[in-house]
Structure 1
Amino acid sequence: MSDGPSSAEVLAELLENKPLRRDTFEGWQQFRTTRHRFAPAPVITIDQWRTMSPRDQAIHNMHRTATHVNLPLQETPMSLKVSRLVNRRINNNAWKRNSSTLSGVMVNGLGYHGKTETTCEVAASFEDQWLDLHAHVNPRRDLHAPVAYVQTPVTAKPKSTCQAILDFFGAPTKGLTLPELVRQVAQSVKDHGVQALILDDITRLRMHRADDQDVLDLIRAFMSINVTLVLVGVDIPGSGLLREATWDARHRQWVMPPSESARTFGLEPTQTERRFDLVDLDRFRYTTPKQIQAFQDHLAGIEDGLRLFDARPGMLTDGTMPEYLMRRTGGVVGLLTRLIEDGAHEAIDSERELLDEELLDEIVLSLDDPSRDPDAGEIPVINTAMAAPAANHQPAARKRARNTVYDDGGPRAVGATL
C-alpha cells in the first residue's frame, strides 16, 4: 500500500477544489499550481481489495475512476515539436529588449488533438520558472500574471475580444469605448507583467465577417505591446487568418501586414511587420515502423496509469489491440483518451477489470460538448468506418502492411514545411 494520501483524502480534495475556468487569473493559477498534484490510486491486488470494508471498496473504486480520467499528459513526438517551439518563442521574447514587435506563434491542428493542453503545459512551466526567478514579486502591481489565457468569443468583435482579455484580470469594462478598452488592455498587460498572451480557439474568427477581420487586425496590433501572442486554433491555414500573410522562406515565418488598429489606437509609433511561427500538432500515424513504435509507446504509458485488477502487461500494446485502437480513434489523442476513460469505467462497473476489444466495442464515442464550436472544426467528425466490426461479423485477418486510410497530410500551410 502507498504511504501517500488515502483514497478518501484524495477524493475529498478533488470535491473541494473543483477546477475553475482557465480564462480567469484565479482559474489559471489553480491549473498551474495543481496540474501535477493528483495522487493516483495505489496499486493493489483483487485479494487486497476484497479484505476492505464495502465502504472502503467503493471509495477505492471511485479513486480508480478518478485516476483514469486524470491520467498524466504524455509527451508525444507531435507535442514535443509544438512544445519546443512555443517554449523557445516565449522564453526568447521574454528577454528581448531590442525589438518593438515580438514574433508570435500559431498552434494549429484539428479538434481533440491536444493543442490547448500542450500549449498550456508549456506556458505554465514557463510561468513557474519566471515566478521563481522574480521571487513571485511584481514590482508594478500585486497581481503578477506572466501568462494570460483567453478564449476567443464565439461571435468575436473588437470590443468583446478586449473584454475577454480584461476579464482575465478582473478589470472593469462596463461603459468603456473601444479605444478605452484597447488602451486598458495595453496597460493591464504592462501592469501585470504579462509575457505571453494565449488566445485559444482563434479560428472562431470568420474572415468573411467585417467584425472578425477587425479583431484579427486588433490582435496584430497587440504584438506591439511587448507580449508574445500564442494563437491556438483548428485548421488555421484554411481559416483565412493567413490570407493577407506572406511566407518568408529565409526566416521560415509568416509575415503579416501592418495593423490599421495600431495606427488608429496609437499602440505603436511605426508600422512594423508581424511575424508568426506556425506549427502543426498532428495525430498519431501508423504506417512506418517509427510511427508504429511511437503509438505503442504512448499506449504503454496509458497502460501504466490504469488501475484494473485483471490488467496484464501488454494489455494495450500486444496482438491486434494497437491496430484496433488506431481504427477506433484515427490516432487522435483526445479520442483515444475518451475511449480508454469510458472503457476503464465500464471495466470496473461490469467487474471485468480489463480492457479488450470485446469490451471496447460496447463504448460509443460521443463528443457533444457545449463549450466547443462545431462550425469552427473544434469537434471532429468520427468516421463510422473506423468503428469496431459488428459482433456477428468475422473480421478479415489483420495485416501489418501499410494502411492508406491514415495517409492524409493533415492541415498544412501552403509553402511551409514545419
Structure 2
Amino acid sequence: MAMKVSRLLSRRILGNALQRTAATWPGVMVGGWGYQGKTETVCEVAAEFEDTWLEMNGFVNPGARPGVRALHAPVAYVQTPVTATPKGLCEAILGFFGAPTKGLTLPQLVRQVAAALDDHGVLVLILDDITRLRLHRVDDQDAFDLVRAFMSMNVTLVLVGVDIAGSGLLRRASWDKRGKQWVMPAMEGGRVHGLEVTQTERRFDFVELDRFRYTTPAHIQAFHNHLVGLESGLRLFNAGPDMLVGGGMPEYLMRRTGGVVGLLNRLIEDGAHEAMDSGRELIDEELLDGIVLSLDDPGRDPAAGEVPRIPATASPPVAAAGRKRESAGAGRRGRNTVFDDTGPVAQTGA
C-alpha cells in the first residue's frame, strides 16, 4: 500500500513541476488512520523530489531574479493547527520560512504567504493533519477555502489526514470516473482574503494508506517483507536468521500491533533498546512481552483519530501456564487422609 501511495504522489508532484501551462495543478489527498505511516511516506517522496529538483537546477532557484539572493525551498511542510483559522494557518506556513507575523492582519498574512511561496520557489506544499478542520465551523470553512486558493499559485497541494473520506472535506466534491479524481467546484468570486484565485475547478487524487492485514497470502507476504526490512536494520549480536519472520513471530507481532505500522516500529524499537540494555542482544516473544506500548503524544489529537487503539497485551506464556495449573488444581478433589497413620501419640508427663 505504501508503494501505491509513493508511486501516485511521485508521479503527480513531478508531473506538475514539469508543466509549462498556467492551469491549476491537481493536488493529492492521503488518508488513513493514525500511526499508519502517512506523514513518513509523504515526506520521503517529497524529500526525494526535492533532491532531484535541486540537482536538476544546480541548487539555484530557477525563478529567482538576477542579482538577488536565491532562496530555494521546493517543498514546504506545515502541520495544521489544532484550532484552525485562516490567520493561524497563514502563521503556521510563514513559520516554516521563519518569516515575522506579529501585528499583521489577515489580508497582509495572505499576501506574505503568497510572496513566501513564490520567492522560495515552492512547488509542493504539504499540509499535515488537515482533518483537524471541522467544516461545520465558519473559521474552518474559511481556512479550507484559503487552502484551495493556494492551488492557484502553481504549487502541488498535498493534504494528509485521518479519515479524509469521513471528515467532510470531500462533501462538496464529485467523483470523476473518467479522470479518477475528486473534483471540487470553482470558488465563488475572484478573491479569497485578498488573494486572487483562478475560476477553475480543483482536482484531487485521493489515496488511502491502510494497516497491514493477515488474511490473504498477498497480505501475509507484504507483512513478511516489511518485517524483513526491519530486521535488516537491526544490529544485535545474538540475533539469528529470521529473528522477526521465523516461527510464530509474525503472528505475535500482528496480534501485538494490529498491523499498524507506527505501533510495530515502536514495539521493535523499544524491544531493540531492551535487548541491548539487558545484554540479551536478541528480540523474542519473551522480551517483547515485557514491553508496554504507550502513545502519550501531546502533539496528537485523539478525538480526531490521530492516536490508534493499542491491542491488549497477550499474557506471558509462563504466567498463563501457572494460572492454568492453579485453576486445574482448584477444581480437583483433595486426597482422603482418614486412614493415614499419624504415628504414636506423644506421652505427657505429670
Alignment TM-score, normalising by the size of structure 2: 0.87
2:117 counterpart letter in structure 1: V
Number of residue pairs matched by the alignment? 316
Which of the residues 19, 25, 30 maps onto 1:96?
Answer: 19
Match of 1:389 in 2: 315
**Residue type of the alignment partner of 1:376:** A
Q: Map Cα deviations across residues 72-101 of structure 1 (whole Å, 9 max, x no partner).
A: xxxxxx111111111111111111122431
Distance in structure 2 (CA, Å) of the matches to 1:94 and 1:262:
25
Corresponding letter in the other structure for 1:389: S
Between the aligned partners of 2:166 and 2:217, the Cα distance in structure 1 is 31
Does residue 328 (structure 1) correspond to residue 256 (structure 2)? The answer is yes
1:228-277 deviation per Cα after TM superposition (whole angstroms, max 9, x unaligned): 10011111111111111111111111111223485244544642100111
Percent of residue pairs identical: 71
Structure 1 residue 223: deviation in Å?
Answer: 0.6
Rounded to whole Å, the distance in 2 between the matches of 1:228 and 1:264 is 19
| Contact 1:225–1:267, Cα closer than 8 Å, also in 2 | no
Shifted more, 170-179 versus 245-254: the winner is 170-179
* Bigger Cα displacement from structure 2, 94-103 vs 111-120: 94-103
Q: Which residue of 1 aligns with 2:50?
A: 127
Greater Cα shift, 144-153 or 133-142: 133-142
Native 8 Å contact 2:149 2:192 kept in 1: no
Partner of 2:70: 142
For the structure 1 residues 261 and 116, does the alpha-carbon distance in structure 2 shift closer, same or farther, using more than 3 Å as the test?
Answer: farther
Alignment of 1:230-379 (within 5 A): 230-260=158-188, 263-265=191-193, 267-268=195-196, 270-379=198-307
Aligned counterpart for 2:33 among listed residues 96, 103, 110: 110
Cα drift, residue 196 of structure 1: 0.4
Q: Choose the corresponding residue for 1:216, options 117, 122, 144.
A: 144
Aligned-partner Cα distance in 2 for 1:220–1:318? 49
Partner AA of 1:114 in structure 2: G
Structure 2: distance between partners of 1:88 and 1:267? 28
Closer/same/farther in 2, CA of residues 193 and 389 from structure 1, 3 Å limit: same
Pairing 1:189-204 to 2, within 5 Å after superposition: 189-204=117-132
**Gapped runs of 5+ residues in structure 1?**
1-77, 395-418
Instruction: Check the 8 A contact 2:286/2:316 in 1, yes or no.
Output: no
Quick one: distance in 1 between partners of 2:305 and 2:189? 28
By how many angstroms is 1:323 displaced? 0.3
Listed as ranges, the matches of 1:7-26 within 5 Å are: none
Q: Does the Cα contact within 8 Å between 1:218 and 1:259 map onto a contact in 2?
A: no
State the shift of 1:168 in Å.
1.1
Report which stretch shifted further, 330-339 or 263-272: 263-272
Distance 2:184 2:90 in 1: 21
Q: Secondary structure at the match of 1:224?
A: helix
Higher CA-based Rg: 2
Residue 87 of structure 1 pairs with residue 10 of structure 2? yes
- 1:174 and 1:261 mapped to 2: Cα distance? 29
CA, structure 1 residues 80+130, in 2 after alignment: closer, same or farther (shift >3 Å)?
same
Paired amino acid for 2:146: L
Q: Pick closer, same or farther for the CA change 1:264–1:233 going to 2, 3 Å.
A: closer
8 A contact 1:218–1:261 mirrored in 2 = no
Instruction: Report the Cα distance in structure 2 between the residues aligned to 1:219 and 1:261, rounded to whole angstroms.
Output: 15
The aligned residue for residue 400 of structure 1 is none
Bigger CA drift: 135-144 or 156-165? 135-144
Q: What does residue range 13-92 of structure 1 map to in structure 2 within 5 Å?
A: 78-92=1-15
| Backbone CA RMSD of aligned residues | 1.7
Letter in 2 for 1:165: I
Specify the code of the residue in structure 2 equivalent to 1:255: V
Q: Please give the TM-score of this superposition, normalised by the length of structure 1.
A: 0.73
